[in-house]
Amino acid sequence: MHIDARQLNNNTLIEGDLCIIGAGAAGISMALEWIHTSHKVILLEGGGFDYDEKVQQLYKGTSSGQKFPDFTSSRLHYFGGTTGHWAGFCSPFDELDFEERDWVPYSGWPLKKKDLDPFYDRAHKTIQLGPYNYDLKFWQKKLPYMYPFPLNEKVIRTKIWQYNQARYGNIYKETILNAKNIHLYTYANAVDIQTNDNVSQIEQVIVKNYSGKTHTVKAKHFILACGAIQNTRLLLASNSKAKAGLGNDNDLVGRYFMEHIELNVAELNMIKPFATNLYNFEMGVTKVSGELGITHEAQKQEKILNGTSSVNLLPETVDNQLRLDRWKHYEETESYIKDMTDLWEEADTQAKFGMGAIGKKFHLNIRMEQSPNPNSRVSLGTEKDGLGVPKAHMNWDLTFLDKRSIRTIYYLIGREMGASGLGRLKLREEFRDANDPTFPEDTHGGNHHIGTTRMDADPKKGVVDINCQVHGINNLYVAGSACFPTAGGPNPTLTIVALSIRLSDFIKEKMKW
């Protein structure tokens, strides 16, 4: 069922059992779990079904620290949320991602991977992925030419990805609209969460839109599913009873903001040709592929963060056939060195005509968790958005551990490439000095907003508990990557959906109490 909140009479009271604030991957995944139940679910979306620039601008914020992209470019403010432009990378977190690592401050989840496995399996169905299996051998039986580089398996592993650019706004629109107990309100921007006097219970949420309408939503349970930045903004701005904001008694809301650090770090030149499909990725075509990862043992030994490297072919480098052919028959004397320049020039000329295909060059991009850091933080800015809510301010703060880990990952890959005789790796200039803590100007994230309401059993260390319920407020929950204590090696969406399904199960059980 769909209601456009702009068309309602001003000051309408909306009531339900469950109120989900935000209709992106987390919010819709949760709502789907409630279809055909006896519970009335209010699903609030700030935008409509299509991109609306004015609504999108409500995400506008400011930033300091490491250069951070405009918030409006990384999130989509309409039904389906950021699934409207995601690349569909899915992989479960590794067991190590959940563990406390003594070399990673603030690491460790109160969950283990096995706790999430059943929900990962269910999330696969929601995202419409293949079977919940990320074992290379499994996929080698299903797909041709999935050969990994023959590198030392004690150091280098293959991380398998599955892909589906599931656009929730398309694939679940009809399902949600046809569900009698799901009441989707578009153009319903939550601007204030109001509690009882002792801030132990949410009583209502105020929603607004650009049509000048203000409505009130009452429910038994409220779930924040607006993304790590907007969740923070709403919690901190809802300060009529709790001056520091909701869930923020211990000054934790907004802290530990994390991204997956992504940038080009190295190039790989192959000495020997190596034919494989394993590392290929073509958006919208590839369903499964692999990336180079560091084994957990090697991560422990080197005390580095978890991440993987893509292996992307540089198309301009198929120019070596001629050179190789000539050398093969050339007399090996000092004099042949003198002719090298001529040979390369000839090879380059031939390459312009597309001849030759042996030499391969790849560029390697990192995709790595950012270490949890309380100074990497979302707070409220001084300006207000078009609906009167303070804008978010981001201080993206990377650490030396982040930098050292990236460099070490590529150093290890380079070392193993050399040991295998397969190729040689070149580090980008900014990653050559092992003691340099700075990041290049073009450092960016994967637009994965993680942390800000981290999960911990101890209210002094986390905003939400093991069930994603905000500590101290018994009917307020957070769905999404804001709850992650660490960013994990892989992209977050599969884990976001798994945790959202898990949260749904928890609230259903709680409703029976």
Q: For another protein, what does the binding mask look like between residues 428 and 457, x meaning CB under 8 A?
A: xx--x-------------------------
Give me Rg for the CA atoms of the chain. Answer: 25
Q: Which of 45, 416, 456, 465 binds another protein (CB under 8 A)?
A: 416
Judged by CB, which is closer to another protein: 416, or 465? 416
Exposure string for 388-423, b = 16+ CB within 10 A, e = fewer: ebbbbbbbbbbbebbbbbbbbbbbbbbebbeebebb
Instruction: Report, in Å, the least distance between residue 268 CB and another protein.
Output: 10
Judged by CB under 8 A, how many residues of this single chain contact another protein? Answer: 32
CA distance 230 to 190: 10
Dihedral Cα 113, 116, 121, 127, nearest 10 deg: -110
Q: Which of 24, 61, 169, 359 binds another protein (CB under 8 A)?
A: 359
Q: For another protein, what does the binding mask look like between residues 213 and 252, x meaning CB under 8 A?
A: ----------------------------------------
Instruction: Report, in Å, the least distance between residue 426 CB and another protein.
Output: 5
Judged by CB, which is closer to another protein: 313, or 427? 427
Q: Which of 43, 380, 425, 463 binds another protein (CB under 8 A)?
A: 425
341 binds another protein (CB under 8 A): yes
Helix (H, G, I), strand (E, B) or coil at 340: helix
Instruction: Report, in Å, the least distance between residue 432 CB and another protein.
Output: 5
Say which amino acid occupies 218: K
Asked whether the CA dihedral 290, 293, 295, 296 is positive or negative, the reply is negative
Q: Which of 9, 337, 441, 512 binds another protein (CB under 8 A)?
A: 337
Judged by CB, which is closer to another protein: 361, or 391? 361
421 binds another protein (CB under 8 A): yes
270 binds another protein (CB under 8 A): yes
CA distance 500 to 478: 9
Q: Which of 21, 235, 417, 468 binds another protein (CB under 8 A)?
A: 417
- Listed in sequence order, the residues at least 6 apart from 408 whose beta carbon sits closer than 8 Å to its beta carbon are 302, 304
CA distance 261 to 403: 10
- Listed in sequence order, the residues at least 6 apart from 17 whose beta carbon sits closer than 8 Å to its beta carbon are 39, 40, 41, 219, 220, 221, 511
Which of the residues 304 through 333 are near another protein (CB under 8 A)? 320, 323-324, 327, 332
Judged by CB, which is closer to another protein: 105, or 418? 418
310 touches 341 (CB < 8 A) = no
Helix (H, G, I), strand (E, B) or coil at 395: strand
Say which amino acid occupies 270: M
Instruction: Report, in Å, the least distance between residue 110 CB and another protein.
Output: 37
Judged by CB, which is closer to another protein: 392, or 417? 417
Q: Could you tell me whether strands 221-224 and 476-478 are parallel, antiparallel, or unpaired per DSSP bridges?
A: parallel
Q: Which residues bind another protein (CB under 8 A)?
A: 269-271, 320, 323-324, 327, 332, 334, 337-338, 340-341, 344, 359, 410-411, 414-419, 421, 423-429, 432
